[in-house]
Amino acid sequence: MTPLFNKIKLHGFNNLTKTLSFNIYDICYAQTPQQRREYIEYIDEEYNAERLTHILTEVAEIIGANILNVARQDYEPQGASVTMLIAEDDTKEREQFTSTEEPGPLPESLVCHLDKSHLTVHTYPESHPENGISTFRADIDVSTCGRVSPLRALNYLIHSLESDIVTMDYRVRGFTRSVDGGKHFIDHAINSIQNFIAEDTKERYHMIDVNIYQENIFHTKMMLKNFDLDDYLFGGNASDLAPREQQKIANRVKTEMLEIFYGKNMPHIE
């Protein structure tokens, strides 16, 4: 295992680039065209550019970044995007920094050295005109260079964006050079993104890892364990439906979740 950062004496700035791609999915069943429109309107308001800006601002605070510029946009008919350019923040004590494998704060400031780094989020609401399924996706990218890992913000993001399915990709790219000329292709210990996730989250989700250790590529995906049909009905209650209808809708929602989780189409059961 490559030595940890505090044991490495570098020649110049830490040139490693660390990127966390964090994707969430919210799924619901909206039976009528009006309910589908209302769901899209609801989710579009819930995750508008203003709220997404607040979430990314908290992420910047957690990783100790100074926000240089914010660009945000709500789109018609739906969707939103926010991009932040971030850089080093020298206002905090560097001794607070830690790179151990543990869940990050909710949120409290951590310290880092950042330059030419960014935070972005884009949303993608959509619905199916025939089977009643509506799915909302939000993509968040936290890219840093220097000492800190964006995984420190992962715990906060998971708690801020309650989701049915979460997929996460973490990659460390490039190298940084020590004073003796040797290259370091990673500066912190990691064997799974799951080590940065709090126990209460692990209890609620099924989790699968797909990691390529020799390339410093780590992938984790999560799907909620418990299924309650009422949590997925928009504009109605399960008790108002006949048992056969409840089962049909539940099958559609579960199939949608499994297809997203495993990344492939599956036979639909009515």
What's the start-to-end Cα distance of the chain, in Å? Answer: 50
- Residue 202 in contact with residue 192, Cβ under 8 Å? no
Q: How far apart are CA 137 and CA 189, in angstroms?
A: 30
Active site residue 145: yes
Q: Which of 145, 149, 160, 188 is catalytic?
A: 145
Question: What share of residues in the chain are helix, strand, coil (percent, to 5)?
Answer: 30, 35, 35
Quick check: 20 and 142 in contact, CB under 8 A?
yes
Distance CA 85, CA 46 (A): 24
Could you tell me the maximum CA-CA distance found in the chain, to the nearest angstrom? 72
Instruction: Dig out the tokens for 107 from the structure.
Output: 């949120």
- Reading phi first (left if > 0) and then psi (alpha if -120 to 50, else beta), residue 235 is in left
Note whether 88 and 115 are within 8 A (CB): yes
Select which of 81, 122, 184, 219 is catalytic.
Answer: 122
> DSSP secondary-structure letter at 3?
P
Instruction: Judge whether 143 counts as a catalytic residue.
Output: no
Number of helices (H), then strands (E), belonging to the chain: the values are: 5, 10
Work out whether strand 217-224 and strand 176-177 pair parallel, antiparallel, or are unpaired. Answer: unpaired
Please pick, among 117, 143, 149, 160, the residue that the annotation labels catalytic.
Answer: 117
| Catalytic annotation present for 117 | yes
Active site residues: 117, 122, 145
